[in-house]
Amino acid sequence: MTQGKMGLTKQYLAYKPVSSFNIIASSRANISFISVNNVDGRYVVVAAAEKVIVWNMRIGEKVAEFTRDKQEVTFLRASPDHKHLAVGYSDGVVEMFSFESKQSVCSFAAHRSAVSALNFDLLGLKLASGGLDNDVVVSDVVAQTGKCRLTGHSAPITQVCFMQRYHDVIVTSSKDTQIKFWNVETHCCFKTIVDHRTEVWGIVLMRNDDFLVCGSADTQLSVYRIAPNTDESKPIQATEDQLLVEESTVSPFRCTAIGSIQRAGYGRTINLVADGNGQVLGCHGTDKQIELFYFAPVDEAVKKLTKRMKKLNAKKFNETETQPEVDVRQLSLTDEIKRLSPILTSDKVKSFDLLLGSRSELRICCTFLKNFIELFSLDMDVKKAEPVSLHSIHKQGHPSEARTVSFSSDNLAIASGSAESLKLWNRSSQTVLRTIDTSGYVVSTCFVPGDRHVLVGLKSGELLIVDIVAGEELERIEAHEKEVWSIVLTPDMHGCVTGGGDMTVKFWSFELIANPERPDLKVLSLLHKNTLKLEETVLCVRISSNGKYIAVALLDTTVKIFFLDSLKFYLSLYGHKLPVLTMDISYDSSLIVTGSADRTIKIWGMDFGDCHRSLLAHDNTVTALQFIPNTHMFFSCGKDGKLKQWDADNFQKIVTLPGHLGEAHALAISPNGKYVVSCGSDRTLRLFHRTDEPLVLQDVQEEEREELENATLATGEESAVPGLPGLQLPSKKTIGSEKGAENILECLEVSKQYEEEGAKGPLPPLMFAYSATNTDDFLLTVLSRIRASDLEESLLLLPFAAVCELLERIPKLTITRKDQTELICKVVLFLFRVHQKPIVSNQVLLPVIQKIIHTLQEAICELRDMIGMNFHASQMLQRELEENDGCVLFRDATKLRVQRDRRRKRREASKRILVNITK
């Protein structure tokens, strides 16, 4: 790495993230079908740690990626028009992305903990989100602000649904065993179902809100019928008490339990999913199958009931006599619900989604625990049809967590090992080159000189020699009795050394032996040369570059150094309180760095074994560290998920890179020092590259200090207003809202000072920065730059004196800037709602309030008239264009006629075929 002097400070080069790969679909979030270029059933969107990926299931490739920051994605939901994607994160933020631009459209800081449920209404204008903070927040997608916060559940929310038939009604389920019905306009709960004794894990509305199906911790699905609150809809058999209870409610409908569906699977219900029309219901538990149920339309159910009644009454009525009429209210669950063939899967299902096509083809896409996606198809028209697997995506990632990574000597390939396989990756494209089944748990890997072979150490003690070109295992050697924790090449590149859990260090040399199948070809093998026996389990082995020493980390918290040629004891490094899990020796063999489970990194001198410095490096166990080639700088990672760069000369931390969401297991640095790759428990491999951007240590430390200060809110977590103790805004306080309040206060102060000076002379620097020529434009620019979801929280933080000053400026603003009428209305209405009592009791504000009412009403009427005129004028232009282009007004009618003609021609063609066959 090139280094230089910048004054008295040392200059470094920055490492930046390139990409994260290996993960196909996170098990925490759900999967959803989306439409791309009006193509349905082929594209799915899944979460991949902090990213969102769109997969093309037919060709198994990524179509698009959406990223926000280092927060894990917990829930996904596509809008009904498939133009936007709502993504819920673990920090309670809901981000809206556009499929067209791949960028964030708006952001809702809704919850104080992870988002657990998301759902759009029928038109996609409202978005309801449920979180682990027990709250439900309804947001306005068009206005990009929160609408209301619904509090009433006493446990995390599991599902949120909008009712289609009843306007502004939301159904929510929670782990508190309750199902609640809410009215969005009144912000109140008007009905609660308390029938369940265990947690309600999912609810779904079927067949246009005719049924409510609930899944709990048992193996049954509860079914409720939803009917309007009219005399005709009352059940035939009902007690007077039931009728009195129903009549006394304020609900527009009745929700009556009519039975349950017995699941074939075992364990609790994990997911309940319905297709877009509410005809097919899918559910799965903790086993390896997805059960499907078909909710028949009313006419189809009546036919089935009639058929059943005929069979029951066959003894009472003759065939010639008329059958009794069938009442719709006599329908049972067996008439309306049909069980379809279940989907038996190869692994535990984590989430799935359904899509019912126009030709009665049902597509089911599932994500699994072992990091793969599979697409199934089921033909609904065929009786007792079995589901068929169409496509799957599984080769692009390890089924389990990667535990070890290593770089090839040419810096082009990365090897990663997991519990069952070894994968070779192309470093530039992050794609899989080879996948080799190891039939064992990989704990260590090492490239053989020439980059044609990889040595793989298993947990069982076996050492594998893998041929990369052929993609096959050449030899399996019983190297150790227990785990092969470490593999390192000798400095002369003629052999390797392995350290195992059987308290031995073994020395091997590379040999070329004849291939048993083809004697004319030679293959690589290992020849055991020597064994070093020790008193404790060997956790790590390293050899100095000059070939003089071998360092061995033992389970007794010490590191013992031996002479490599004679294996005689040289030094013992003791000082760690817990075992040393990782270490490395510098290129000039002068320093050795050890990382321990006690969270510290110690830098030692190789000459005398003296400890130069002990650093409290991570918040948890240090799992891996490695020197950057030809430098005294090194990288370390730990179970806190962080990846840090250090300087062993001045004992300073250089920078903290964006690490893993969980634990970091291992890291590797390329031989040229330009790339760093790490693996972790979030199933991602993260690649970083060295840029030409200079990095000054003092600047980095200052930036990290600022980030830490910004992460803590200066005004506290809670939003408090005098006189309103139970204020429940549909948003939470963020750094953006605090900065917005600061900007408003600063704007008012600068404007007041400028006006006191007579509004003459040079503009204040802040006004000039906002490109404002007067105080009115300045204030509106500041207000408009505050994010819509943060505006209310920013106004809430203003002191009452600033509120009065802001209101005094509103009448003039309304007259001069009618293009911002909507924003001014938003500000005024919120301030009046929050500070109503002090504003009303303040006599000085009375004339200001009268002016605001008068000017705002005029501005709103003018805006409404302008929009109405433009709307009707555009309709008139549309009619003129349609008249000029022909009969386009009856587009729907012509479409229906074309469809009828096609069906008629199809029937005639089938009749002709039948006639030909009979002849």
In the predicted model, residues of the chain with pLDDT beneath 50 are: 1-8, 231-248, 320, 890, 912-919
Helix or strand or coil: residue 222? strand
- Is 767 in contact with 827 (CB distance < 8 Å)? no
The pLDDT score that the predictor gives to residue 245 is 44
Closest CA to 161 of 172, 150, 151, 177: 172
Got the DSSP string for 115-161?
A: EEEEEE-TTSSEEEEEETTSEEEEEETTTTEEEEEEE--SS-EEEEE
- Is 89 in contact with 28 (CB distance < 8 Å)? no
Instruction: Take residue 81 and report the two structure tokens written for it.
Output: 């028009």
Instruction: Take residue 414 and report the two structure tokens written for it.
Output: 């990365």
The pLDDT score that the predictor gives to residue 310 is 78
H-only helix segments in 724-764: 735-756
- Is 132 in contact with 173 (CB distance < 8 Å)? no
Instruction: Take residue 217 and report the two structure tokens written for it.
Output: 């911790």
Element (H, E) at 911: helix 891-918
Tell me the residue ranges of DSSP E strands in 408-461: 413-417, 421-426, 432-437, 442-447, 453-458
CA atoms of 710 and 703, how far apart (whole Å):
10
Distances (CA, A) of 711 to 429, 651, 715, 792: 35, 27, 12, 20
CA atoms of 795 and 743, how far apart (whole Å):
11
Residue 362's Cβ-count burial label (10 Å; 0-12, 13-18, 19+) is buried
pTM for this predicted structure: 0.85
Got the DSSP string for 595-639?
A: EETTSEEEEEETTT--EEEEEE--SS-EEEEEEPTTSSEEEEEET
Share of the chain above pLDDT 90, in %: 54
What residues are paired with 508 via a beta bridge?
Answer: 496, 528
What pLDDT, in 10s, does the model give residues 604-650?
A: 999 888 999 999 999 999 999 999 999 999 999 999 999 999 999 99
The pLDDT score that the predictor gives to residue 442 is 95
What pLDDT, in 10s, does the model give residues 512-537?
A: 887 777 777 788 899 999 999 999 99
Q: Say if strands 169-174 and 4-6 run parallel, antiparallel, or are unpaired.
A: unpaired
By residue count, the chain amounts to 919
CA atoms of 573 and 397, how far apart (whole Å):
40
CA atoms of 582 and 685, how far apart (whole Å):
19
CA angle 805/807/808 to nearest 5° reads 65
Closest CA to 737 of 788, 773, 700: 788
What residues are paired with 819 via a beta bridge?
Answer: none
Instruction: Take residue 282 and report the two structure tokens written for it.
Output: 């899918």
